[in-house]
Amino acid sequence: MTPRRPADILTANRIVVKVGSSSVSGDNAGQIDPLVDALAAAHARGTEVVLVSSGAIATAIPFLDLEGRPTDLATQQAAAAVGQNVLMWRYQTSLDRHGILAGQVLLTAGDLENQTPRQNAQRAMERLLGLRILPIVNENDTVATHEIRFGDNDRLAALVAELIGADLLVLLSDVDALYTKPPHLPGAERIANVAFGDALAGVEIGSVGRAGVGTGGAETKVSAARIAAASGTAVLITATALVADALEGREQLGTWFEPAARRHTAGEARALS
């Protein structure tokens, strides 16, 4: 059931959770265990959970002795190949504590834009969920090029939520909510609720995340939230550290984007967003 307010989150049957690079790499790699604990708690009550996780390239940086995120495509692709392996190992090691098996799903933009690979991806995801496996989705950076990228995993998460008809999308970052201006500025106020179709006039959308590691920010999260909401999926933007409370439907948490009154097809959702 699609929740209409945060208190209804426990009624959601299918949830997509997106976590950014800065939340699960470098000094913050220790946040993987609490994140997995929250996902496992939802899984244990029967909820179908999909994790969309950035972080492959960022995870590889220390292993490849790089000073920061690589800028050339070939090194990005090589780093993704190394980092994705390490990242999945970390997730599975953590999930082992709960007896949950992960399934890796790597996608390119073309996979969701073309009918045949889109249907294949949808069928695979449905089967994984039916087998009670927790899919972990990321962009396939090893083969993606600048021209065929999603651009950020917030958008990927919104499209995955649309693909599988998720009831709820939770977008996690380093900041606890969307604010009327960048949260470090004086006078910034938390936006608790965004009605469907609200243009957020007068809101100064600034960046979110650890500089030089991730590719997303508040702007990409708002854009992704609108895509998902237009398809009929409720959206909550909050901090990775608050994910357990978020998935338990705690009030006064994050920013809630109300979903459209009914579900729409992919084409309809894009037109509405």
Q: Average pLDDT, stretch 56-67?
A: 94
Task: Write phi, then psi, for 38 (nearest 5 degrees).
Answer: -65, -40
Q: Is residue 233 part of a domain?
A: yes
CB 16 within 8 A of CB 50: yes
Q: Is residue 11 part of a domain?
A: yes
| Residue 250 confidence (pLDDT) above 90 | no
The pLDDT score that the predictor gives to residue 218 is 84
Give the CATH number, domain containing residue 215. Answer: 3.40.1160.10
- Could you tell me which residues are beta bridge partners of residue 211? none
pTM, to two decimals: 0.91
User: Quick one: angle between helices 115-130 and 153-164, nearest 10?
Assistant: 70
Q: Average pLDDT, stretch 144-166?
A: 83
The pLDDT score that the predictor gives to residue 266 is 53
The two three-digit tokens of residue 253, written as one number: 């948490």
Residue 174 is assigned to a ligand binding site: yes
Please give the Cα distance from 208 to 268 (Å, whole number): 29
Q: If you ran DSSP here, which 8-state letter would residue 13 be given?
A: S
Residue 141 is assigned to a ligand binding site: yes
CB 247 within 8 A of CB 42: yes
The two three-digit tokens of residue 195, written as one number: 């009605």
Candidate from 87-101, 132-146, 241-255 with smallest mean pLDDT:
132-146
The pLDDT score that the predictor gives to residue 109 is 83
* pLDDT interval class at 182 (50, 70, 90): confident
Residue-number span of the structural domain to which 210 is assigned: 6-272
The two three-digit tokens of residue 171, written as one number: 């977008």
Residue 153 is assigned to a ligand binding site: yes
Residue 245 is assigned to a ligand binding site: no
* pLDDT interval class at 265 (50, 70, 90): low
Residues 231-252 as b or e (16 or more Cβ within 10 Å = b)? bbbbbbbbbbebbebbbebeee
Higher pLDDT, 201 or 12: 12
Higher pLDDT, 116 or 267: 116
| Residue 47 confidence (pLDDT) above 50 | yes
Count how many domains the chain has: 1
* pLDDT interval class at 262 (50, 70, 90): low
- Could you tell me which residues are beta bridge partners of residue 190? 179
Averaged confidence pLDDT in the chain = 89
Residue 152 is assigned to a ligand binding site: no
CA 182 to chain CA mean position, Å? 21
Residue 207 is assigned to a ligand binding site: no
Q: Is residue 1 part of a domain?
A: no
CA dihedral for 59, 62, 67, 71, sign (positive or negative): negative
Q: Average pLDDT, stretch 171-175?
A: 92
Q: Is residue 127 part of a domain?
A: yes
Q: Is residue 75 part of a domain?
A: yes
CA nearest 31: which of 8, 13, 58?
A: 58
Residue given tokens 């087998």 in the structure block: 131
The pLDDT score that the predictor gives to residue 203 is 80
| Residue 56 confidence (pLDDT) above 80 | yes
Q: Is residue 268 part of a domain?
A: yes
